[in-house]
Structure 1
Amino acid sequence: MGTLILFILFSVLFAPATSTNRTLSNGLSLSSEKPEDVLTSPNGVFSAGFYPVGDNAYCFAIWFASRTSRSQDRTVVWMANRDQPVNGRKSKLSLLRTGNLILTDAGKFTVWETNTVSISSLELRLSDAGNLVLRTLGGGSLWESFDFPTDTLLPQRFLTSDTKLVSSRSQTNYSSGFYKLLFDNDNVLCLLYDRANISSRYWPEPWLTPGQAQRFVYNSSRIAVLDSFGNFSSSDKFTFSSTDYGQLLHRRLTLDYDGNLRLYSWDEEGEMWVVSWQASQVPCIIHGVCGANGICSYVPDIGRKCSCLPGYKMINHTDWSQGCEPEFDLSFGKNKFDFWLLSYLDYYGFDYGSYHNFTLAQCKELCLGLPECKAFQYTFSREQGRSSCYPKTLLMNGHRHSFPGSFYLRVPKKNLLKLLSNANLAENIGLNCSSVGPLLLERVYLKNRVNGTVKFMLWLVQPNYIKWVKLSLIVSILTHL
């Protein structure tokens, strides 16, 4: 009889949690092998459990799943191990008796933990607001997911100086991307393109001072919050209201993989998310979208598209963020190069300097004398009688628009006429960068611990002969006659 009681007690203490449990207690765990092992908020709006992100690859996540939504419609709002998925077998989220919450990969490696310690009994609970909270039975909080957001801000969650939103890598790859929402050193809430050797702000518009952008810098509190009625406010005096402001709806502010910050509202009747505000109305001004030496253009009803500069080719045909590389030799030699005029093309940033009242010939000589100069932009105002020369050391953030100036690309003389006469030059390999349509991704868990390996399978080839390229060819030929 005593043995039976001990067996029952042991089974209760160490049994895994199931979907009927709303909390996870000390000594218990959730298993990646059991889809029913989830925590659910009391209102049934949010669930937390192992979410598939690839072939035998899982992340512990919180997702939105209202009672009215279809079972396959899961919108992830938080992830614990977005950059290191775990195996679908023998992986667990466990609340140790020491008070530490850990995620183990295949029962061997700890890939994520809260680093909490407590001698008191604890419970892990998912709140109605979508906050995963590790707390004492008395209600004291030791850790909560709201303090460690990924790409989404939910109502009642504060964005502070210690937190930031980081976009996903792509529409189907949940690992960390290149875009961030954070407070900068001027206490201004901003959007940042940030990768290994390149970092640039693109919202508010970087050419505006904080005052011109109507931001208030004399406040070091650095805090922003969204409410369920659709109002957002920040300590730098930036505020906005959703187009459906005033309605009590499920909402989320998400920094999407394309670099745009969007507020979504849940449409109960249509069972879908609807964009009710977005930071940028011009998708091509978002930095880094087409990588170095790439050109962004916006096509109505299709969306944002990328192409390479003439004489350049894509580095990776599945990833525009890696940009393009030259098909000719760019090693320095002042007398080796000439320039190709490309109209309606602008590259923001990465100027060697700004030189005023330079003639076009002086600007060309300046760029030819700089080994790092890849191109230059030249503007002239007849009204002001003023010219400006901007040598470019890196060709990033390029896009087509009615730019009031000219762009001159440096190319080797021996290649210039060949490029001008090459009909294939007008063929631009394009990618529809809009959020419409699925992207195929295989994200496989690897036993050798190189987690998160991504294999993209994207393809889309655009038509030939863009009009602006034709115009540039004609202008360039006439200037060399």
Structure 2
Amino acid sequence: MANRDVPVNGKQSELSLRRDGNLVLIDAGRTVIWSTKTKSTSSSSLQLQLLNTGNLVLDVGGQTLWQSFDYPTDTLLPNQPFTKSTKLVSSKSRSNYSSGFYKMFFDSDGILRLIYDAPETTTIYWPHPSFRSWEVGRLQYMYSRRAILDSNGQFNSSDGWKFKSADFGMGRQRIMRIDVDGNARVYSLVEHERRMKWEVEWQAISQPCKIHGTCGPNSLCTYSQDSGRKCSCLSGYKMVNYEDSSYGCEPEFKPCIQDDCDFIELRHVEFYGYDVRIHGNYTVDACKKDCLQDNTCIGFQFGWKEDSGFFYCCIKTSLQNGYEMGYEYSMYIKLPKRLVSSFKQKTVSQSSLNCPPPMLTTITRSYEENNDIKPLGFMLVFGCVIGFIEIVCIVVFWYFSSERSSTTEQIYIPAATAFRKFTYSELKKASCNFSEEIGRGGACVVYKGRLSDNRVAAIKRLKNTNHHGEAEFQAEISTIGRVNHMNLIETWGYCAEGKHRLVVYEYMENGSLAKNLGIGKLDWATRLGIATGTAKGLAYLHEECLEWVLHCDVKPHNILLDANYNPKVADFGLSRLFDRSGINQSDFSMIRGTRGYMAPEWVFNLPITSKVDVFSYGVVILEMITGRSPAGKHHSNNENGEVEVELGLIEWVKSMIQESDQSRTECWVEKIVDPSISGNYNRTTMENLVRTAVQCAEEDREARPSMSQVVSMLLHA
């Protein structure tokens, strides 16, 4: 990421290779953000090429002018040299790719190190600084400083450090990266359940609490296999920012003087560094006396010095990098006596937080106009004047209109608020602290709420805030702003605040189609209306939107019913937008949808088109008619009534049709229809609906109709 700290606008920015041999990135304000600063006398043989190694190379006539391998960001690819002039720098968070505080680099003594480099402090934490270089297998002051991860997963460094990844061998794609938590890891790309996933095959630090800067000052890091890494404030301290543990804790008390101070003991706890004095052959009381006489002292470390054979204490003026993990000795914290008397030996306080990478605000960038462009300034002033005149006219018109309406005693109700961004506190209040649950999915929970304008709403709260969950949320928000149809759920807004991701949409009184099918409440006319309305909604997504939309997860749970049982397609978390020239293109990175409703294209890695939604629609209609689950197995009988084979729903319906057509006896419709609607339907209409659904669920996508053709089939049967 060449411009990670200076992001450009997503529109009107450009990367261009100039004739003089310079590769230039320009933002929307036409400012040069980054360039290779290269020059070439020959433009005819100039080329920029991405090699199979992952190296982006700018060369002229076979001579390399610039290559991306010389400028790594946070990742090393196999066989990419890591030298004294390069370094890896972590991102600030998983959503903010600007430069973080953790770095991997070759130090001046030739040792490969990890460092925490924050604005307030800088400390090396790997190899552990308390060990000498030869004690951790490192060689100092070697002539060259160079390291490399080869294709087999073996890492070799000029300082003598080497290791092999757990899956050492040929054939795997690997990367080495310094992550946002400050740990260096080697990942391999592994297939799990037909999905590719990066798995850790090596990491530099096995105890995550020993990474500096994890929890911030005046806090303690603890780790367990069950709950992971946690940060907690020391007794007498409180969190500075409850959303970001890296800010640490601040005292809830005023500094105390000698007679008002005492100490609490934290066993097996260490705070690395910031020792202003070290006393040898000292007792605990002597250490306490020294700290009480020093107003800058806020605690001391007390332990046994093995090589000297006596106890010692380290007087500290700052409590940084604290962790509890089998450390042999004790830490004494200076506090007012009133707090010491109420202290209980606990390693985790009530103000504990889980410690994934800090939630940091994504960096934004403003674009400045050139001051010397005078015509733009004139146009801006002119536009403001025209806008002011228009506002005055609108206000005057509104005033006289109000006067006329008051004389005729007419009452006008303002329209409901349009799609907007809600705050988390608004939605928490609207849902009575998320107390009334009305639905649940794999990645979300839906609650009923009442907004400030008295509209009853459904509030969907995402449970996942990882990368995949964020992608689904962004997909839904970007999609719902482009759709407007009576058979699509109306969305009123969203919330994206800190780790909270919520979507607010209209409340559907009769819940999902899946719920109603489960209780057998729907009559024939209602089911036919649901089939037709759902088809219209999908046809709009596929063919009438400004940008075509693939829903990718059509199923009864995502078809909601209003008070009159009118259907509305909902849940666009897995949807994809395509411009009108790209509807037949496929760039999906993962399988989408729900088992039983997914088209064969997903399984066989075929190009994904709108026909995947047509297939899912066909399965939904067959489930609605038969009352049978597409995921189950259904018996097909031979002529003697004996069980012959178990089939999926689609195959079972086809076999019923085929058997009845061959025997020409009992109509196949009666064999497959849900008993709850038996005898209360028009046979011709039902037969047409079933045949349409079967055609939609054909394995060959070319044999499936479009959704607009489905609507025509249902309306003109």
TM-score for the superposition, normalised by structure 2: 0.49
Counterparts of 1:47-62 in structure 2, within 5 Å, are none
Structure with bigger helix share is: 2
Partner of 1:291: 216
Partner of 2:499: 458
Aligned-partner Cα distance in 2 for 1:162–1:347: 32
The structure with more radius of gyration: 2
The one-letter code of the counterpart of 1:354 is: I
Aligned-partner Cα distance in 1 for 2:363–2:71: 25
**Per the alignment, in what secondary structure is the counterpart of residue 146 of structure 1?**
helix
Aligned-partner Cα distance in 1 for 2:237–2:497: 22
Counterparts of 1:376-395 in structure 2, within 5 Å, are 376-380=300-304, 386-395=310-319
Counterparts of 1:297-336 in structure 2, within 5 Å, are 297-330=222-255, 333-336=257-260
| Pair 1:424–1:155, CA change in 2 (3 A) | closer
Aligned residues of 1:131 and 1:145 also touching (Cα < 8 A): yes
Partner of 2:551: none
Query: Could you tell me which of 104, 125, 130 is aligned with 2:26?
Result: 104
In structure 1, runs of 5+ residues without a counterpart are 1-78, 450-454, 460-481
Aligned-partner Cα distance in 1 for 2:21–2:42: 8
**Per the alignment, in what secondary structure is the counterpart of residue 84 of structure 1?**
coil
The one-letter code of the counterpart of 1:181 is: M
| Pair 1:411–1:131, CA change in 2 (3 A) | same
The one-letter code of the counterpart of 1:431 is: L
**Per the alignment, in what secondary structure is the counterpart of residue 136 of structure 2?**
coil
| Pair 1:443–1:183, CA change in 2 (3 A) | same
Between the two proteins, the alignment pairs up a number of residues equal to 369
In the TM superposition, residue 294 of structure 1 has moved relative to its aligned partner by: 1.4
Partner of 1:350: 274
Counterparts of 1:210-229 in structure 2, within 5 Å, are 210-229=133-152
| Pair 1:441–1:203, CA change in 2 (3 A) | closer
Partner of 1:44: none
**Per the alignment, in what secondary structure is the counterpart of residue 403 of structure 1?**
coil
Query: Could you tell me which of 173, 185, 202 is aligned with 2:125?
Result: 202
In the TM superposition, residue 118 of structure 1 has moved relative to its aligned partner by: 1.9
Partner of 2:163: 240
Deviation track 1:43-85 (CA, whole Å, cap 9, x = no partner) reads xxxxxxxxxxxxxxxxxxxxxxxxxxxxxxxxxxxx1111111
Residue 80 (str. 1) matches residue 2 (str. 2): yes
| Pair 1:198–1:382, CA change in 2 (3 A) | closer
Deviation track 1:268-293 (CA, whole Å, cap 9, x = no partner) reads 46411111111111111111100111
Aligned-partner Cα distance in 2 for 1:124–1:279: 35
Deviation track 1:239-291 (CA, whole Å, cap 9, x = no partner) reads 00111112232110000011111001111464111111111111111111001
Aligned residues of 2:58 and 2:65 also touching (Cα < 8 A): yes
| Pair 1:390–1:120, CA change in 2 (3 A) | same
Of structures 1 and 2, the one with the larger relative CO (CA 8 A, separation 6+) is: 1
In structure 2, runs of 5+ residues without a counterpart are 369-495, 501-717
The one-letter code of the counterpart of 1:112 is: W
Aligned residues of 2:115 and 2:124 also touching (Cα < 8 A): yes
Query: Could you tell me which of 17, 23, 34 is aligned with 1:95?
Result: 17
Deviation track 1:422-460 (CA, whole Å, cap 9, x = no partner) reads x9997432332247xxx87763644356xxxxx97138x
| Pair 1:342–1:103, CA change in 2 (3 A) | same
Residue 274 (str. 1) matches residue 199 (str. 2): yes
Partner of 2:42: 120
Aligned-partner Cα distance in 2 for 1:272–1:426: 34
Partner of 1:257: 180
Counterparts of 1:131-150 in structure 2, within 5 Å, are 131-136=55-60, 138-150=61-73
| Pair 1:456–1:130, CA change in 2 (3 A) | farther
Residue 179 (str. 1) matches residue 98 (str. 2): no
Structure with bigger strand share is: 1
| Pair 1:336–1:100, CA change in 2 (3 A) | farther
Aligned-partner Cα distance in 2 for 1:425–1:376: 17
Aligned residues of 1:92 and 1:107 also touching (Cα < 8 A): no
Partner of 2:460: none
Partner of 2:263: 339
Partner of 2:523: none
Identity %: 46
Aligned-partner Cα distance in 2 for 1:389–1:244: 45
Partner of 2:476: none
| Pair 1:165–1:382, CA change in 2 (3 A) | closer
Between 255-264 and 99-108, the greater mean CA deviation after superposition: 99-108
